[in-house]
Amino acid sequence: LRVTTFGESHGPAIGCVVDGCPPGIPLAPEDFSHDLARRATGKTRHTSQRHEADEVEILSGVFEGRTTGTPIALLVRNTDARSKDYAKIADQFRPGHADYTYLHKYGVRDPRGGGRSSARETTMRVAAGVIARKWLADRFGVQVRACVSQVAGLVPGRFDWDAVESNPFFWPDAGQVAELEAFMDALRKSGDSAGARVHVQALGVPPGWGEPVYGKLDAEIAAAMMSINAVKGVEIGAGFASVTQKGSEHRDLMSPEGFASNHAGGILGGISSGQPIDVSVAFKPTSSLRLPGATVDRSGAAVEVVTTGRHDPCVGLRAPPICEAMLALVLMDHALRHRAQNADVPPVTPKVPGG
Ligand code: EPS
């Protein structure tokens, strides 16, 4: 499975191509609405106030409501881009923003907006992910879900997956929503931004998906998460906490009833173990701030930059659907590869713990 996106935040449209998808999957434009709405801006006062319709047009790869096996091209037209705020900073670099490195790479500055470094690009990752989620659920019963598990220093007091979709923060503790609202209101008023952590999980992944050395499942999940704008860290299972664990604590004991813990995050030796796949993703505080900051302009002169416009004070709050999509896409890719390599392999013994 190969996925690429195209388009800029302030261009006429954004889109993606999903190539290598099996034929016969039912697919209609309305299948995308739910996940795109979960990711969208402008739904609450806590996100960017840009209002995009985010309507998906299927340009290819689908005939009479089913995928044909040919490349699937999806298009979303930009309907609410506003470039005037960017004109003011067209010759300046935002500290902590990719506009500096993009210019060094390409020698071209697109002054219309965030371009491909804008979170707008993630719309099409979510759209592509819809296809993978559908296929994984129908074929294998695999479910992918995510929540925000930290905002700045705030962590959930309790972890209830049922609470996640009923508040604007994808937050697993309904009792803390008022506190988060107050935090976000104060943050927005201050002109500053905050980081966040997203926990993304896949349930029902059978054991055996992945690769043992090159293209390990965890390596490809980490690469996929790291390719999302604003991501600065990825952990699988216990992640960095494994540094201070003893082997006797970290190992997940097994019995005929199943695994006693999941510090491995569902992946052993680059291959799924059959346990839930647990991934934690760190989103940096966004760099487009109303607070003045020291920087340089294109000529190298010292200037002070102030970013106005419609930006997210905490872009991680919109990230759970994006992380779900990336995890689903990597899993679908590995499921297809596994099927190709193991078509003739008889059922596995020993029995899977808990299976
Ligand atoms: C973003 C800045 C704003 C946001 C955008 C993310 O867009 P722009 O300045 O490019 O118009 O509204 O998010 C979206 C438009 C979206 O659909 O996610 C940024 O700086 O990342």
pLDDT tens digits along 119-176: 999 999 999 999 999 999 999 999 999 999 999 999 999 999 999 999 999 999 999 9
pLDDT band at 346 (very low <50, low <70, confident <90, very high): confident
pLDDT band at 113 (very low <50, low <70, confident <90, very high): confident
Instruction: Please give the distance, rounded to the nearest whole angstrom, from the Cα atom of residue 41 to the centre of ligand 1.
Output: 8
Number of other residues whose CB lies within 10 A of the CB of residue 122: 24
Rounded to an integer, what distance in angstroms lies between the CA atom of residue 344 and that of residue 308?
Answer: 59
117 annotated ligand-binding residue: yes
* Residue boundaries of the structural domains of the chain: 2-341
Residues 88-115 as b/e (b if ≥16 CB within 10 A, e otherwise) read: ebeebbbeebbbbebeeeeeeebebbbb
Q: Which amino acid is at 41?
A: T
Instruction: Please give the distance, rounded to the nearest whole angstrom, from the Cα atom of residue 311 to the centre of ligand 1.
Output: 6
**Mean pLDDT to the nearest integer, 231-248:** 98
Structure tokens at 198: 């997203």
pLDDT band at 350 (very low <50, low <70, confident <90, very high): low
Give the pairing of strands 293-296 and 62-63: unpaired
Q: Among 10, 44, 13, 353, which residue's Cα sits nearest to residue 188? A: 44
Q: Among 25, 109, 111, which residue's Cα sits nearest to residue 63? A: 25
Tell me: domain 2-341, CATH 3.60.150.10, correct? yes
- Range in 67-71, 195-199, 324-328, 349-353 the model is least confident about: 349-353
pLDDT of residue 349: 67
**Mean pLDDT to the nearest integer, 252-278:** 97
Q: Sign of the CA dihedral 20, 52, 223, 338?
A: negative
Instruction: Please give the distance, rounded to the nearest whole angstrom, from the Cα atom of residue 116 to the centre of ligand 1.
Output: 10
Residue 300 has pLDDT above 80, yes or no: yes
Instruction: Please give the distance, rounded to the nearest whole angstrom, from the Cα atom of residue 228 to the centre of ligand 1.
Output: 14
pLDDT of residue 355: 66
Residue 273 has pLDDT above 90, yes or no: yes
Rounded to an integer, what distance in angstroms lies between the CA atom of residue 92 and that of residue 295?
Answer: 7
Q: Which amino acid is at 10?
A: H
pLDDT tens digits along 90-99: 999 999 999 9
Residue 323 has pLDDT above 90, yes or no: yes
Taking the CA of residue 86 as reference, the ligand 1 atom at the shortest distance is 9
Cβ 38 vs Cβ 44: under 8 Å? no
Residue in the block written with tokens 């013994």: 349
Name the residue of 228, 311, 315, 317 whose CB sits within 8 Å of the most ligand 1 atoms, as the mutation to test its pocket.
311
**This prediction's pTM:** 0.97
Name the residue of 50, 84, 193, 284 whose CB sits within 8 Å of the most ligand 1 atoms, as the mutation to test its pocket.
50
Residue 341 has pLDDT above 70, yes or no: yes
Q: Among 25, 218, 40, which residue's Cα sits nearest to residue 127? A: 40
Mean pLDDT, the chain, whole residue set: 96
Structure tokens at 257: 């009833």
11 annotated ligand-binding residue: no
**Mean pLDDT to the nearest integer, 45-58:** 97
Name the residue of 48, 122, 286 whose CB sits within 8 Å of the most ligand 1 atoms, as the mutation to test its pocket.
48
Name the residue of 117, 118, 125, 311 whose CB sits within 8 Å of the most ligand 1 atoms, as the mutation to test its pocket.
118
Structure tokens at 182: 């107050």
Rounded to an integer, what distance in angstroms lies between the CA atom of residue 45 and that of residue 41?
Answer: 9
pLDDT band at 343 (very low <50, low <70, confident <90, very high): confident
Instruction: Give nearest CA residue, ligand 1 atom 17.
Output: 120
Instruction: Please give the distance, rounded to the nearest whole angstrom, from the Cα atom of residue 192 to the centre of ligand 1.
Output: 16
230 annotated ligand-binding residue: yes
Cβ 206 vs Cβ 95: under 8 Å? no
Q: Percent of the chain having pLDDT more than 90? A: 94
Complex prediction ipTM: 0.93
pLDDT tens digits along 177-188: 999 999 999 999
Residues with a CB atom less than 6 Å from ligand 1: 9-10, 41, 48, 50, 52, 81, 113-114, 118-120, 123, 288, 309-312
287 annotated ligand-binding residue: yes
Cβ 8 vs Cβ 116: under 8 Å? yes
Instruction: Give nearest CA residue, ligand 1 atom 19.
Output: 118
